[in-house]
Amino acid sequence: MSYLVLARKYRPKDFDELVGQEHISEVLKNAIEKNRIAHAYIFSGTRGTGKTTTARIFTKALNCVDRKASQPCGKCPNCKEIADGNSIDVQEIDGASNRGIEEIRSLRENVQYAPSSSKYKVYIIDEAHQITDAAFNALLKTLEEPPEHVIFILATTDPQKIPLTILSRCQRFKFRPLSAVEISTHLEKLSKLEKFDIDKSALQLIAQISNGSLRDSLSMLDQVISFSPDDKITDKTVRELIGLSPLEMVSSIVDLILAKDAKGILEKIAGIAAEGYDFLQIGRDTREYFRKLVFTNYIDLEKNAPESILPDEMESLKKHKGMFQDNILLRNLHLANRCIEEMRFSDNTRLIFELYALKLMQQTAGIDELIDKLSAMEKNLGGPSGPADSQPSGDTPPAVKNPGTGHSIAGSDAPAYKTAENTAKNAPAQP
């Protein structure tokens, strides 16, 4: 028997089998039960998150002759034909290769005829953002006055490229990228069913690499299994196949930033380039890492967000927690975000990433060195003159050199700005 790839073998057959898009399946199920069906839908979201699969399940449910509540039976001729891609009333159109006005015109003519054996004629247009403006214009007329029996489902990774006139006539559903934990849980389930001899850590690594795309994670699992069909698969096997994981790359870059190791940073980036990684994605991973690092200052992530962070990442975050000053960390997050904005408009994403990695290092180093210098200065001058607990406000102003006298001004001798402010605040208001 030939091997059926996992993504096809375990393609969800009804709404309950969909992974991670409950917010969408609930609304669609409701629409079916209440018979409130729109004539046009837009399913948007990153690749491999279930847009086409959901469109097929929805179509089956609409045309099923033996539907149970909102779920398609999966057994009637309509369900079977749709699952096999043979239904003459359901057309799946690749928007990338049928993007011109001629194709849309013939679609418009076809729309007029009633369905042959189903309730609805459904047109699922994949990669809909590829359709030309002229073709969208031709489609608009049909969307304005659609025949009763016709439903359009436009699937796209780039909804902002679809004209507003079209968008405003469609019900929109946003498919979200899946968290690494959701993906690894799903992979674990399938691995058990398939009796794969594979470590949990290997599945977690695959989940991490697939960036929210369930389909990508399944192809990677296929690849890992065929790479090493007889041995137990560990995270080491996965690493042999794909090289460094994004987390390891980001985590080691953060190490190098903290160590102020410019040479190390540039060498690491050269290594990433040699492995053929996409720098825009590494940039996004870096930004996400700094974001989580900022969160660790305010939230116990282990307790509050265990579903979105894998054990390896948690370990790394714990290691870096508190290593950056709060304000530096916020600025680093801001810089990482700007890095991605600049990459979008650049023909050399590696260069932009190098530039920002060094900027992050300089900024971190800059403040650290300043603090080092200040504390060295303080040491030379014999430290603060007054003990901190003698301050009524509890705030000890930092020791700074008075440029006029050359003496250290600190503790109770310093101009106690905060204390003065507090005093003013506490003083009775002047009449």
Task: Catalog residues that contact Zn ion under the rule CB under 5 A.
Answer: 64, 72-73, 76, 79
**How do 171-174 and 400-401 pair as beta strands?**
unpaired
Cβ proximity of 145 and 108 under 8 Å: no
The tokens for 274 are 């040699």
Closest contact distance (angstroms) between CB of 72 and Zn ion is 5
**How do 408-409 and 400-401 pair as beta strands?**
antiparallel
In the bound state with Zn ion, the residue whose beta carbon lies nearer, of 79 and 340, is: 79
Tell me the CA distances in angstroms from 282 to 183, 241, 266, 287, 351, one per residue in order: 20, 18, 14, 9, 13
The half-sphere exposure of 97 on its side-chain side, counting CA atoms within 13 A, is 3
In the bound state with Zn ion, the residue whose beta carbon lies nearer, of 75 and 105, is: 75
Phi, psi of 206 (to 5 degrees): -60, -45
Closest contact distance (angstroms) between CB of 80 and Zn ion is 8
Cβ proximity of 386 and 410 under 8 Å: yes
In the bound state with Zn ion, the residue whose beta carbon lies nearer, of 15 and 277, is: 15
Phi, psi of 301 (to 5 degrees): -60, -35
What DSSP string runs through 314-331?
HHHHHHHTTTS-HHHHHH
The tokens for 354 are 């190098």
Closest contact distance (angstroms) between CB of 359 and Zn ion is 58
187, containing H or E segment: helix 180-194
The tokens for 121 are 């004629």
Closest contact distance (angstroms) between CB of 25 and Zn ion is 17
In the bound state with Zn ion, the residue whose beta carbon lies nearer, of 64 and 183, is: 64
Closest contact distance (angstroms) between CB of 39 and Zn ion is 22
In the bound state with Zn ion, the residue whose beta carbon lies nearer, of 53 and 208, is: 53
Q: What is d(CA 51, CA 42) in angstroms, rounded to the nearest whole number? A: 9
In the bound state with Zn ion, the residue whose beta carbon lies nearer, of 76 and 280, is: 76
In the bound state with Zn ion, the residue whose beta carbon lies nearer, of 14 and 92, is: 14
In the bound state with Zn ion, the residue whose beta carbon lies nearer, of 73 and 242, is: 73
Buried-exposed string 298-323: b where 16+ CB fall within 10 A, e elsewhere: eeebeeeeeeebbebbbebbeebeee
CB neighbour list of residue 14: distance below 8 Å, 6 or more residues apart:
57, 60, 61, 71, 72, 74
Closest contact distance (angstroms) between CB of 177 and Zn ion is 31
In the bound state with Zn ion, the residue whose beta carbon lies nearer, of 28 and 317, is: 28
Closest contact distance (angstroms) between CB of 17 and Zn ion is 15
Could you tell me which of 270, 266, 310, 276 has the C-alpha nearest to residue 292? 310
In the bound state with Zn ion, the residue whose beta carbon lies nearer, of 62 and 64, is: 64
Closest contact distance (angstroms) between CB of 53 and Zn ion is 17
For 247, counting Cβ atoms within 10 Å of its Cβ (0-12 exposed, 13-18 middle, 19+ buried), the class is buried
Closest contact distance (angstroms) between CB of 147 and Zn ion is 23
The tokens for 131 are 């359709």
Cβ proximity of 282 and 246 under 8 Å: yes
Closest contact distance (angstroms) between CB of 75 and Zn ion is 6
Closest contact distance (angstroms) between CB of 68 and Zn ion is 9
In the bound state with Zn ion, the residue whose beta carbon lies nearer, of 53 and 211, is: 53
Buried-exposed string 162-191: b where 16+ CB fall within 10 A, e elsewhere: beeebeebbbebebebbbbbbbbbbbbebb
